[in-house]
Chain A
Amino acid sequence: MPTGFITNLYVFVLAGFVGFEVIRRVSPLLHTPLMALTNALDAIVVVAAIIIAGRQGTALSATLGAIAVAAAFSNMVGGFLITDRMVRMFKLSGRERKQS
């Protein structure tokens, strides 16, 4: 078993717990923006796709890489865009706004 796997497993387990604790605190009001935002963050796979599309390799891997770049980048752009549109819509009522 490669040592890289063990290190990645540490990272995965810790990140899972961080994710669990942070996301548990997200108000149910914002569960739809949450899903849109995590989609956009998950689109970070685009960095792996860029390497595969642009490195020295076969035509097949470059093609698969390029499609992956387009698919992931569309999520990144669209995900942040729609999350921002949604969270901008959440406003307090007049009375509450004056108090805060």
Chain B
Amino acid sequence: MTTAQYLPDFVYIAAIALFVLSLRWLSSPATARRGVLAGEIGAALAVVTTLFNPELVQYRWIIIALAGGAAIGIPLGMVPMTAVPQRTAMSHAFGALAAALIGISEYYMRLPNINKFEMTEIALEVIIGSLSFTGSLIAAGKLQEILPQRPIVYKGQNYVSLSVLAAAIILALMLIFNPVRTAVFPLMVVISLFFGFLLVMPIGGADMPTVISLLNSYVGFTAALLGFVLNTKVLVVAGALDGASGFILSVIMCRAMNRSFTNVMFGAFGQLQVSAAGTVEERSVRTATPEDAAAILEAANYVMVVPGYGMAVAQAQHKVREFYDALTKRGIDVKFAIHPVAGRMPGHMNVLLAEADVPYDKLIEMEDANTEFPQVDVALVIGANDVTNPAARTDKSSPIYGMPILEVEKARTVMVIKRGMSPGFAGIDNQLYYLDKTLMLFGDAKNFVGNIVRELTSGGGH
């Protein structure tokens, strides 16, 4: 072997180093763009080097496919920030599809000379890749609201799903004992695809951030497994990094909802909704107009905004930014308390607020926010519900008991902008709304915040 033959390996090693640096630099917004650049250089080096691989005999399909990929990828990279969760789910689907197709192609290429060990790797890779593909498509459909967002549940569901998974595993075992059973292989693929569908259909609503993170880690591990199949280290590393990232985010999301993986996957929330719905009772709440709210806000020194996904649904983030400006101009300290599951995917709320030009040093995490609330004069809840429900800390019978929440009830005054008294994603009544210190501001979030801003700016400080 000459040194030149190892050149691709050196380039791949450089790419791996750049990938690790890329993630390292993503640790803070100040260096994040450099991180993206490092990743781009690493990926470009690897792709260009591969195009010079002597094994390649024809380029026509490669060029067409690269052009097609770019034609799909560029519009998917330009979607509005509110659509980032479904875009992410789509890219999980594409990643899983690519990895699964390569595994399938390897199976047919190597026939009939596949040993048991290779077959095990290929079967595992193809099963996980296929189920991640359909699972991610369903997740994207739910996030895009093509499919119902509510969990779809029926009796004996877990048994059906587990039987389908067992069938896929049995077919895989049959292949491992005799890899040339070519009729079994496509069946295994189809059943794995079906399992991905069954896996994600029953999950919905508030669990989407967890599901999207879990699918992220599956896709990463599929790529790593593909690296094992093809004996390509760069795939093993990139897959391990992606898998680790998805896994960490899944753990964070589960913790933020006080749920375990099994609990999310085998959906307990669906059943709990039913039991909680009956307990809602008629109680009186205090309401206020934009004028009242503005008057109270003017007298405040420290205001904490608690945004939820409802804020993004109402497209209110730009009005919220004007609200921030109006108060800041008066010397009032304004911060934003971000619950880890405030958006549709990990970190989504931060991106939505950053897009509206809210400075990121004003976005604070749950733990920090909770130490601040006792000093807060006004906590303004916009489009958030379950993550502010004090029942999570006080009521052992509540379905969300134990879930870490933003302790807004510790602020001097609480204001909640809401369309009506309907319960949140989890279908649970919120005790916060009936407190004496709470003012309910009924209306559309965008209009209401706009009206408060008008009062604050036209009033001229009295």
Contact = CB atoms under 8 A, between A and B. Distances in A.
Judged by DSSP, the binding face of A is helix
B227 interface: yes
Given A30-B347, A68-B102, A71-B97, A12 B249 contact: no
Given A19-B244, A28-B350, A80-B36, A74 B94 contact: yes
B359 to A, nearest CB: 3
Interface string A17-51: 01110111111111111111111111111111111
A69 B84 contact: no
Contacts of A27: 27-29
Nearest to A61: B105
A9 to B, nearest CB: 8
Contact of A15 (B70, B226, B236): B236
Nearest to B213: A35
A6 to B, nearest CB: 11
A19 B240 contact: yes
Contact of A36 (B24, B84, B219): B84
Judged by DSSP, the binding face of B is helix
B361 interface: yes
A19 B23 contact: yes
A37 B102 contact: no
Interface string B199-227: 00000000000001100100110011011
A73 B73 contact: yes
B234 A66 contact: no
Interface in A83-98: 83-94, 96
Interface stretch (B44-52, B169-177, B380-388, B409-417): B44-52
Query: Taking each of B66, B234, B360, B362, which has the highest tally of chain A beta carbons within 10 Å of its own beta carbon?
Result: B66
Interface residues of B, number: 114
Interface string B66-108: 1011111111111101001001100110110111011011101
Given A8-B236, A90-B32, A92-B361, A69 B39 contact: no
Given A30-B32, A38-B220, A70-B69, 7 more contacts: A19-B245, A47-B235, A52-B109, A67-B98, A73-B69, A92-B359, A96-B359
Interface of B: 12, 15, 19-20, 22-24, 26-29, 32-33, 35-36, 39-40, 42-43, 46-47, 50-51, 53, 55-59, 61-62, 64-66, 68-79, 81, 84, 87-88, 91-92, 94-95, 97-99, 101-102, 104-106, 108-109, 117, 121, 212-213, 216, 219-220, 223-224, 226-228, 230-246, 248-249, 252, 338, 340, 343, 345-348, 350-351, 354-355, 357, 359-363, 365
9 contacts: A12-B240, A19-B240, A25-B27, A43-B98, A48-B230, A68-B102, A71-B94, A81-B78, A91-B359
Q: 9 closest pairs, A vs B, by CB?
A: A81-B77, A73-B69, A31-B347, A77-B73, A19-B244, A93-B359, A74-B73, A78-B73, A69-B65
Interface of A: 1-2, 4-5, 8, 11-12, 15-16, 18-20, 22-58, 60-94, 96
